[in-house]
């Protein structure tokens, strides 16, 4: 039994890493989508913003697919309960992701309706960016479960204040990812506007992050004795403060990395408060779905560990190789 | 309608729509790899133009495949949570491996193909074409593994708690139907793209557009069009034998074959009267027995050997299977005719053949849709053959109303995607390869 527990803990960490990878990478392209009407004023500026994510957004989305697959393979009950229980919310996520994906491609071929596809791209990106946090907030805050691990609430159960706060916090972090990515990839007036967006969004993130940490501290009382929670707070707030210095000095790539680090702090707080839960039961803690009562067998977890620990470094290596092909400032003409 | 039936309809609709796109992706990546290899070795600009043109089509095809593909991964949890809870040990790692080993490769390097023609050396560009081809085919491999495991499960045991656990991943992956189903699926995809490209090139040549580029496209596609349906006949034959051996009820439904007998007939077209358990149509006497092991009198099990509650809907499966097979045979004939015309160099002037080519484009799509219908409906009532029934697999907490709602939205969104896809596909074709 000792043995399988180590693998269950390992898979909690690996799935956390996959979701962090997803939120940082797809975070910046969802953020670009959600900010498109705000920082892209002309057709040319919108072209630049969309081209800056054109070659890579799809690889970024695979982090979500792999994260979902890993959840299925390691903790099938958590996957089954969350996806079936939050059915309508998951469907909204899917509809949003479909629109954000196809609208970039349709826009590039369909000049007559470019404006409609830009709106679809914006709406899809923004809705997905908001919903991820709401879903995460619910599994952390807790939802009603029965003794067969089934969700017993409804769609409106998901819309409680604390999960909504998670949604807003995640949304703000994703916007900051997008704005700081835009600073890195653009120049001139568009970059100036992106710098201003980063400045405003950093302050917004201070407000949302502090509210988020305070809410967690008051909601989960025993968290105040957990060192990881303080690491998380420091990580987020210090890196947010760094962004303010970087934009004063007009560093164009530092804000993106600092934004990413502050985002990781938000995730560390989830890890601190949530472990070993996967879906907390709000009605009775004994009904919670944890890494111990929902996992697959030892054989599957071992196999998955081999696949992940060999496969993911290779994936990261060639992803970096491809990102380097597209490094530097994006031009409006960077398109096929 | 019950929630179960609605969930099945939604899965059938979303997977049926999704499959059209990966089926086009695989073959397109093959032809891109061929033309880019020829460009690298022969340094002829014509091949570069063909690659660039196909990459534009691939971008459009791939994005719809990716957008509708994520729906499928979610659907196991959203609509089939009973299934997910039961098979996480075996099915989960297959999906996760697909992400780590295949999807990343395909998705990351497709960005290079579409956006980096002028940013990387010709060799790196060729390598990207190779990696997209490999990534695409690996994706196909893993999802075919997942499906094959549901058809012919292996590498698992049921533990004392009654739970399905993994005993051998190798056995689960290389279960009895994986390899042949993979070959049959990939060949279907290559055939699909051979016919699509032949249709496009045929149109260009007949209209006198794009000169040598169009002629070269026609040549490549006709060669593939001649070869792939023949190879598909071979994989189809081996696959059918595998089904007769491994899933005899399904094989019997394919042919509307009720009574176990020797010298069983093979129908070309027909109709199954399920009430009276009789099949009518045009047939080859003893044909099925002959194809089974080249013995006119070999015995093949009929449906009546199995409990009736485990029969699939027979006529439906029969018709789907025969539409697929009929299109396969027609493709062989038309592909060989094309090869003959190409060999005698008459193809470029043969207006009738060139005129027909674009109208063939829907055929392979109909064939692979009906083929999958035969395979999937033919497996019913099982979701995992002889292990778990579809009725026990659905999510218990999702209501019929919720599924009806999502199904309606899917219909609307996919209709929009289909209309936009056809519109933009035609637009790219009309624009044609760069001059």
CATH code of residue A166: 1.20.1630.10
What count of other Cβ atoms lies within 10 Å of the Cβ of residue B236? 20
Residue A329: what pLDDT? 87
pTM of the model: 0.94
- Tell me which chain A residues have a C-beta less than 8 angstroms from the C-beta of B395: 80, 84, 87
What count of other Cβ atoms lies within 10 Å of the Cβ of residue B161? 6
Flag if A102 and B64 touch (Cβ within 8 Å): yes
Task: Give the pLDDT confidence of B362-376 residue by residue, as tens digits.
Answer: 999 999 999 999 999
Q: Can you give the residue range of the structural domain that contains B11?
A: 3-431
In this prediction, residues B180-190 reach a mean pLDDT of: 97
Residue A334 lies in a domain: no
Task: Give the pLDDT confidence of A57-89 residue by residue, as tens digits.
Answer: 999 999 999 999 999 999 999 999 999 999 999
**Is residue B220's pLDDT more than 80?**
yes
Interface of B with A in 35-64 (CB under 8 A): 52, 55-56, 59-60, 62-64
In this prediction, residues B393-409 reach a mean pLDDT of: 95
Please say whether the beta carbons of A76 and A296 come within 8 A. yes
Residue A287: what pLDDT? 94
Residue B435: what pLDDT? 66
CB proximity B100 to A under 8 Å: yes
Residue A68 lies in a domain: yes
Q: Which residues contact B400 (CB under 8 A, 6 or more apart)?
A: B1, B2, B3, B6
Residue A165 lies in a domain: yes
Strands B388-389 and B278-284: unpaired
Give the model's confidence band at B299: pLDDT under 50 very low, under 70 low, under 90 confident, else very high. confident
Task: Give the pLDDT confidence of B228-261 residue by residue, as tens digits.
Answer: 999 999 999 999 999 999 999 999 999 989 988 8
Please say whether the beta carbons of B42 and B426 come within 8 A. no
Residue A333 lies in a domain: no
Give the model's confidence band at A2: pLDDT under 50 very low, under 70 low, under 90 confident, else very high. low
Angle between helical axes of A57-74 and A87-109 (0-180°, round to 10): 160
What token pair was written down for A276?
């070993």
Please give the C-alpha separations between residue A187 and each of A45, A247, B230, in angstroms, as whole numbers: 10, 14, 56
Flag if A312 and B67 touch (Cβ within 8 Å): no
Interatomic CA distance for residues A306 and A325, integer angstroms: 30
Please say whether the beta carbons of B113 and B122 come within 8 A. no
Task: Tell me whether the omega of the peptide bond preceding residue A152 falls within 30 degrees of 0, making it cis.
Answer: no
Flag if B67 and A101 touch (Cβ within 8 Å): yes
Minimal Cβ distance to A62: which of B103, B166, B413: B103
- The burial class, CB within 10 Å (0-12 / 13-18 / 19+), for B170 is exposed
Residue A273 lies in a domain: yes
Reduced to 3 states, what is the DSSP secondary structure of residue A151?
Answer: strand
Give the model's confidence band at B300: pLDDT under 50 very low, under 70 low, under 90 confident, else very high. confident
Q: Chains A, B: CB contacts under 8 A, how many? A: 232
Please say whether the beta carbons of A164 and A211 come within 8 A. no
Structural domain count, chain A: 1
Residue A29 lies in a domain: yes
Structural domain count, chain B: 1
Task: Give the pLDDT confidence of B69-97 residue by residue, as tens digits.
Answer: 999 999 999 999 999 999 999 999 999 99
**Is residue A297's pLDDT more than 70?**
yes
Residue B83: what pLDDT? 95
Interatomic CA distance for residues B342 and B328, integer angstroms: 21
**Is residue A186's pLDDT more than 80?**
yes
Residue A140: what pLDDT? 95
Interatomic CA distance for residues A280 and A102, integer angstroms: 35
Q: To which residue do tokens 């653009």 refer?
A: A186
Residue B261: what pLDDT? 87
What token pair was written down for B329?
């045979």
**Is residue A1's pLDDT more than 60?**
no
CB proximity B120 to A under 8 Å: yes
**Is residue A335's pLDDT more than 70?**
no
**Is residue A273's pLDDT more than 60?**
yes
Residue B2: what pLDDT? 92
Residue A84 lies in a domain: yes
CB proximity B134 to A under 8 Å: no
Please say whether the beta carbons of B296 and B286 come within 8 A. yes
Average pLDDT, chain A: 93
CB proximity B76 to A under 8 Å: yes
Give the model's confidence band at A96: pLDDT under 50 very low, under 70 low, under 90 confident, else very high. very high
In this prediction, residues B35-56 reach a mean pLDDT of: 93
Minimal Cβ distance to A62: which of B99, B119, B398: B99
Interatomic CA distance for residues B241 and A317, integer angstroms: 43
State what percent of residues in chain B have pLDDT above 90. Answer: 84
Please say whether the beta carbons of A192 and A46 come within 8 A. no
Interatomic CA distance for residues A319 and A261, integer angstroms: 19
Task: Give the pLDDT confidence of B194-207 residue by residue, as tens digits.
Answer: 999 999 999 999 99
Flag if A335 and B115 touch (Cβ within 8 Å): yes
Query: From its phi and psi, is residue B159 left (phi > 0), alpha (psi between -120 and 50) or beta?
Result: beta
Residue A310 lies in a domain: yes
In this prediction, residues B290-319 reach a mean pLDDT of: 90
What token pair was written down for B304?
């009546």
Please give the C-alpha separations between residue A224 and each of A161, A214, A218, in angstroms, as whole numbers: 21, 10, 9
Half-sphere exposure of B162 (CA within 13 A, CB side): 2
Average pLDDT, chain B: 93
Flag if B165 and A300 touch (Cβ within 8 Å): yes
CB proximity A299 to B under 8 Å: yes
State what percent of residues in chain B have pLDDT above 70. Answer: 100
Q: Can you give the residue range of the structural domain that contains A256?
A: 2-325
In this prediction, residues B211-233 reach a mean pLDDT of: 95
What token pair was written down for B97?
């491996």
H helix intervals, B152-210 = 169-173, 178-207
């Amino acid at each position: 039994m000792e043995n399988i527990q180590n693998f269950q803990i390992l898979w909690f960490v690996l799935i956390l890493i996959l979701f962090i990878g997803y939120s940082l990478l797809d975070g910046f392209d969802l953020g670009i989508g959600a900010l498109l009407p705000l920082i892209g004023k002309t057709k040319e500026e919108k072209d630049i913003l969309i081209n800056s994510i054109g070659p890579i957004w799809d690889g970024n989305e695979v982090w979500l697919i792999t994260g979902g697959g890993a959840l299925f393979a390691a903790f099938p009950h958590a996957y089954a309960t969350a996806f079936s229980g939050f059915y309508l919310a998951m469907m909204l996520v899917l509809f949003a992701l479909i629109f954000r994906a196809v609208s970039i491609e349709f826009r590039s071929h369909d000049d007559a309706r470019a404006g409609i596809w830009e709106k679809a791209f914006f709406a899809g990106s923004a809705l997905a960016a908001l919903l991820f946090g709401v879903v995460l907030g619910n599994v952390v805050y807790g939802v009603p479960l029965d003794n067969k691990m089934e969700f017993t609430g409804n769609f409106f159960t998901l819309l409680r204040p604390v999960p909504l706060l998670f949604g807003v916090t995640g949304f703000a972090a994703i916007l900051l990812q997008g704005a700081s990515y835009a600073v890195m990839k653009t120049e001139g007036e568009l970059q100036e506007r992106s710098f201003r967006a980063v400045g405003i969004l950093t302050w917004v993130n201070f407000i949302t992050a502090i509210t988020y940490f305070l809410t967690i501290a008051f909601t989960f009382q025993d968290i105040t004795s957990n060192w990881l929670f303080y690491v998380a707070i420091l990580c987020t707030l210090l890196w947010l403060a760094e962004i303010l210095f970087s934009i004063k000095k007009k560093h164009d790539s530092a804000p993106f990395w600092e934004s990413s680090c502050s985002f990781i702090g938000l995730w560390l707080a989830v890890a601190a408060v949530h472990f070993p839960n996967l879906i907390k039961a709000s009605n009775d803690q004994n009904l919670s779905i944890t890494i111990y009562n929902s996992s697959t067998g030892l054989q599957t977890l071992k196999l998955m560990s081999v696949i992940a620990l060999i496969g993911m470094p290779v994936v990261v290596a060639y992803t970096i190789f491809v990102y380097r092909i597209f490094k530097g400032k994006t031009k409006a003409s960077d398109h096929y | 309608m019950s929630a179960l039936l609605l969930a099945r309809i939604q899965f059938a609709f979303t997977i049926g729509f999704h499959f059209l796109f990966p089926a086009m992706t695989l073959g397109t990546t093959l032809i891109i790899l061929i033309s880019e290899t020829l460009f690298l070795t022969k340094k002829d600009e014509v091949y570069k133009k063909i690659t660039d043109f196909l990459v534009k089509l691939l971008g459009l095809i791939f994005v719809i495949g990716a957008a509708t593909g994520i729906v499928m991964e979610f659907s196991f949890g959203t609509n089939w949570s009973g299934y997910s809870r039961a098979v996480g040990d075996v099915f989960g790692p297959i999906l996760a491996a697909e992400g780590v080993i295949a999807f990343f490769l395909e998705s990351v390097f497709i960005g290079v193909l579409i956006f980096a023609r002028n940013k990387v050396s010709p060799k790196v560009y060729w390598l990207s074409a190779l990696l997209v081809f490999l990534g695409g085919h690996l994706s196909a491999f893993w999802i075919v593994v997942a499906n094959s495991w549901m058809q012919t499960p292996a590498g698992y045991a049921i533990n004392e708690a009654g739970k399905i656990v993994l005993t051998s991943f190798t056995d689960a992956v290389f279960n009895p139907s994986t390899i042949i189903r993979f070959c049959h699926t990939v060949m279907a995809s290559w055939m699909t793209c051979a016919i699509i490209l032949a249709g496009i090139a045929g149109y260009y040549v007949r209209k006198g557009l794009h000169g040598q580029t169009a002629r070269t496209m026609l040549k490549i596609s006709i060669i593939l069009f001649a070869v792939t349906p023949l190879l598909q006949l071979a994989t189809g034959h081996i696959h059918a034998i595998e089904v007769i051996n491994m899933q005899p009820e399904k094989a019997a439904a394919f042919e509307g074959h009720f009574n176990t007998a020797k010298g069983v007939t093979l129908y070309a077209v027909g109709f199954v009267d399920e009430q009276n358990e009789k099949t009518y149509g045009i047939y080859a006497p003893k044909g099925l027995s002959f194809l089974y092991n080249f013995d006119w009198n070999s015995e093949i099990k009929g449906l009546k050997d199995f409990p009736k509650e485990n029969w699939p809907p027979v006529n439906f499966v029969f018709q789907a299977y025969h539409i697929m097979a009929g299109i396969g045979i027609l493709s062989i004939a038309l592909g060989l005719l094309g090869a003959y015309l190409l060999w005698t160099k008459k193809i470029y002037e043969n207006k009738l053949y060139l005129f027909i080519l674009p109208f063939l484009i829907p055929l392979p799509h109909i064939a692979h849709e009906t083929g999958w219908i035969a395979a999937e409906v033919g497996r019913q009532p099982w979701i995992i053959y002889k292990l778990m029934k579809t009725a026990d697999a659905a999510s218990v907490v999702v209501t019929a109303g919720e599924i009806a709602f999502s199904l309606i939205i899917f219909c609307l969104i996919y209709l929009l995607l289909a209309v936009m896809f056809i519109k933009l596909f035609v637009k790219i074709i009309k624009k044609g390869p760069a001059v």
